């Protein structure tokens, strides 16, 4: 039995839960519109006996996996909640944790994921393959047709609102856990986010750096495209940082755009990245 007390609390079986804050971020997905359509299709429910999928957004760090999930959720008009997974994430971190209130009494805080479940929002679990199997096991009933989680901490079962949607981002690198098969099968479909094409990449840079100088942005996007072709890990996030720093150096010291760009590459990414610099004629 559940009831809502206010926007910030929710009571289940007589136990009040403090709810997490939603994420309001200045993120906008640029280019590759078909990827948003793939996420929205995964979340679609086409029959009263149907349930939404829990898509897995996979790609190298910095390619925009979280931005993609956030943009898809906003397209639905839903509240968005983010949970950053780490190697230290415990089952209770994912669900409900006890906290000591100002009066010394124990209170219970719902995670951002459980808050999304209660409010019918979207939870994006970031870097999910950094979590251990024990933590994933606590989510198994949520990710199938049961759609609930159980809190051992306070003895509650929390059922997901019909509008609740879930996605997990996963970095395509080696510093992660292997997903157990029973979780792997619950996180479908797999949606792969690759490096953007040149036209999309320049649009992303301009979206994030509306004050950016075209000269610097052209240098940076050429660097990124060379790096992508060599399957390097440098991403548009690195490009944004390089462009910002180059423009700050131009403003502060009056050096040329070319010199500022070259210094920025080595200072942001290290000398090993200099082989991908575009130096012009």
* Burial classification of residue 135, based on how many CB atoms lie within 10 Å of its CB (0-12 exposed, 13-18 middle, 19 or more buried): buried
Question: Which residues lie below 8 Å from residue 38, measured CB to CB, with a gap of 6+?
Answer: 55, 189, 191
Q: How far does Cα 123 stand from its chain's mean position? A: 9
87-120 burial: b if 16+ Cβ within 10 Å, else e = eebebbbbbbbeeeeeeeeebbebbbbbbbbbbe
The pLDDT value given to residue 1: 52
Report the alpha-carbon distance of residue 22 to residue 130 in Å, rounded: 23
Helices (H), the chain: 33-43, 65-75, 91-94, 112-119, 133-137, 181-184, 198-208, 214-229, 236-253, 257-269
The pLDDT value given to residue 281: 44
* Among candidate residues 127, 119, 148, the one with its CA nearest the CA of residue 22: 119
Question: Which residues lie below 8 Å from residue 58, measured CB to CB, with a gap of 6+?
Answer: 65, 169, 170, 172, 190, 191, 192, 193
DSSP-assigned states of every residue in 2-22? EEE-SSSEEEETTEEEEPPPP
The pLDDT value given to residue 63: 86
Q: What residue ranges of the chain have pLDDT lower than 50? A: 279-281
- How far is the first Cα of the chain from the last one, in angstroms, to the nearest whole number? 71
The pLDDT value given to residue 52: 97
* Burial classification of residue 33, based on how many CB atoms lie within 10 Å of its CB (0-12 exposed, 13-18 middle, 19 or more buried): exposed
* Among candidate residues 180, 242, 196, the one with its CA nearest the CA of residue 68: 196
Instruction: Calculate the CA dihedral of residues 23, 26, 31, 33 and round it to 10 degrees.
Output: 40
The top-level CATH class assigned to 2-192 is alpha beta
The pLDDT value given to residue 4: 54
DSSP summary character for residue 187: S
pLDDT tens digits along 81-100: 999 999 999 999 999 999 98
The pLDDT value given to residue 175: 56
pLDDT tens digits along 104-144: 788 999 999 999 999 999 999 999 989 999 999 999 999 99
Q: How far does Cα 262 stand from its chain's mean position? A: 31
| Domain residue ranges in the chain | 2-192, 198-276
Q: Is the link from the previous residue into 189 a cis peptide, with omega within 30 of 0?
A: yes
């Amino acid at each position: 039995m559940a009831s809502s007390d206010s926007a910030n609390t929710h009571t289940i079986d007589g136990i009040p839960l403090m709810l997490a804050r939603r994420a309001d971020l200045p993120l906008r997905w640029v280019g590759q519109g078909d990827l948003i359509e793939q996420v929205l299709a995964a979340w679609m429910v086409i029959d009263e006996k149907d349930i939404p999928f829990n898509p897995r957004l996979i790609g190298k760090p910095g390619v925009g996996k979280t931005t993609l999930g956030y943009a898809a959720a906003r397209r639905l008009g839903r509240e968005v909640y983010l949970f950053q997974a780490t190697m230290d994430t415990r089952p209770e971190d994912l669900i409900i944790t006890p906290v000591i209130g100002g009066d010394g009494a124990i209170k219970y805080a719902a995670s951002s994921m459980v808050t999304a479940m209660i409010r019918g929002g979207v939870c994006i679990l970031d870097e999910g393959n950094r979590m251990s199997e024990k933590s994933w096991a606590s989510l198994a009933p949520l990710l199938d047709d049961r759609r609930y989680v159980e809190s051992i901490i306070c003895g509650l079962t929390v059922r997901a609102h019909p509008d609740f949607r879930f996605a997990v981002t996963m970095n395509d690198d080696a510093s992660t856990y292997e997903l157990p098969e029973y979780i792997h099968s619950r996180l479908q479909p797999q949606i792969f986010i690759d490096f953007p094409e040149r036209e999309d990449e320049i649009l992303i840079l301009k979206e994030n750096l509306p004050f950016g100088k075209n000269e610097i942005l052209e240098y940076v996007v050429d660097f990124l495209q060379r790096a992508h072709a060599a399957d390097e890990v440098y991403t548009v996030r690195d490009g944004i940082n390089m462009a910002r720093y180059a423009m700050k150096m131009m403003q502060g010291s009056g050096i040329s755009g070319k010199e500022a760009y070259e210094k920025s590459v080595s200072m942001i990414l290290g000398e090993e990245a200099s082989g991908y610099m575009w130096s012009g004629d």
